[in-house]
Amino acid sequence: MGYRRLRRERTTVRPEVIFTPSWNEILYEDPVTITCNLGSAALENQRYYWYKDGVVIDKDQQSFKIDHVGEEDVGDYHCRTNTSHISPPVTLKAIQEYLILQRPPVIHEGDPLTLRCHSVYGCNTKNTTFYKDGKKKFSVHDSELHIDSVDGGSSGTYRCTTLIKYHDDYKYYFYSAETYMSVSDAQEPGSDYTHQNMVRLVLSGCVVMAAAGMIFYHLRGQRGAG
């Protein structure tokens, strides 16, 4: 079936694939729910179509859950409905580690932020500490660091350290993980004046001016010939 069916009846609505929880990466065996979000344009009696790495998969609901993510689940996900365009691809990333430092995929100025020092399922952790750029230290009571609002100065390399005890083991082991976080400029709701859109406007203006010039010289040439 593939993408050939996408040319049939559809509206201008473009859905978005959302992962819940929404992290930049997860560990193998973690659960995740994948949703085809249409926002306010959602209609009743929609039929949903799902694709992974460009190939249709056997899912027809708006959301589906993977209880234990495996290597076969990692990849790019698209979705559409019988009345919409296909969504942009969103990549599900999972790795095999004992500890990772998770962050949201996209962070804008003014956003609240949660970073999670996440360990393998079933392990016990204690004494978790967060650092920024190797200097600033954050003491937390659990595995998460919460920041009410971020700005440009919040960008940097974050690192967490913790002690992990495996299942039936009696001893704790020291682990650390880090991630780089870049804070983007705040986006004004409803604003279309992004860099990409401005470039499009300029190019469109150039095309219009060039066309007008060609018409002007063509008409002047006809008058001269007459």
Answer yes or no: do 173 and 119 share one domain: yes
- Residue 226 within a domain: no
pLDDT tens digits for range 158-174: 999 999 998 788 899 99
pLDDT level of residue 142 (50, 70, 90 thresholds): confident
Angle at 223 between CA 222 and CA 225, to 5 degrees: 65
- Asked if residue 20 has pLDDT above 90, the reply is yes
Share of the chain above pLDDT 70, in %: 76
Quote the pLDDT of residue 71.
96
Quote the pLDDT of residue 92.
98
pLDDT level of residue 13 (50, 70, 90 thresholds): confident
- Asked if residue 205 has pLDDT above 60, the reply is no
Angle at 16 between CA 18 and CA 180, to 5 degrees: 55
> Which residues, listed in sequence order, are joined to residue 74 by a DSSP beta bridge?
none
Answer yes or no: do 6 and 90 share one domain: yes
Answer yes or no: do 83 and 6 share one domain: yes
CATH of the domain at 124: 2.60.40.10
Q: What are the b/e assignments for 139-171, b being 16+ CB within 10 Å?
A: eeeebebeeeebeeebbbebbbbbebeeeeeee
Answer yes or no: do 126 and 160 share one domain: yes
Quote the pLDDT of residue 180.
96
What pTM was estimated for this model as a whole? 0.74
Answer yes or no: do 57 and 101 share one domain: no
Domain boundary among 55, 76, 94: 94
- Residue 9 within a domain: yes
Domain boundary among 94, 111, 127: 94
Quote the pLDDT of residue 40.
75
Quote the pLDDT of residue 221.
54
pLDDT tens digits for range 181-198: 999 987 644 443 333 443
pLDDT level of residue 225 (50, 70, 90 thresholds): low
- Residue 80 within a domain: yes
If you average pLDDT over each of 17-26, 181-190, 207-216, which comes out highest? 17-26
Answer yes or no: do 10 and 83 share one domain: yes
- Residue 8 within a domain: yes
Q: From start to end of the chain, where are the E strands?
A: 16-20, 26-27, 32-37, 48-52, 55-57, 63-66, 75-81, 90-92, 94-95, 99-102, 113-119, 124-132, 136-139, 144-147, 156-165, 173-181
- Asked if residue 36 has pLDDT above 60, the reply is yes
pLDDT tens digits for range 146-155: 999 999 999 9
With contact defined as beta carbons under 8 Å apart, do 84 and 14 qualify?
A: yes
pLDDT tens digits for range 85-96: 999 999 999 999
Total count of domains within the chain: 3
Answer yes or no: do 118 and 174 share one domain: yes
Answer yes or no: do 145 and 106 share one domain: yes
Share of the chain above pLDDT 90, in %: 64
Domain boundary among 65, 94, 123: 94
Mean pLDDT, rounded, of the chain: 83
The predicted model gives 57-61 an average pLDDT of 96
- Residue 30 within a domain: yes
For residue 26, give its domain range: 2-94
Answer yes or no: do 26 and 40 share one domain: yes
| Dist CA 1 CA 6 (whole Å) | 10
- Residue 58 within a domain: yes
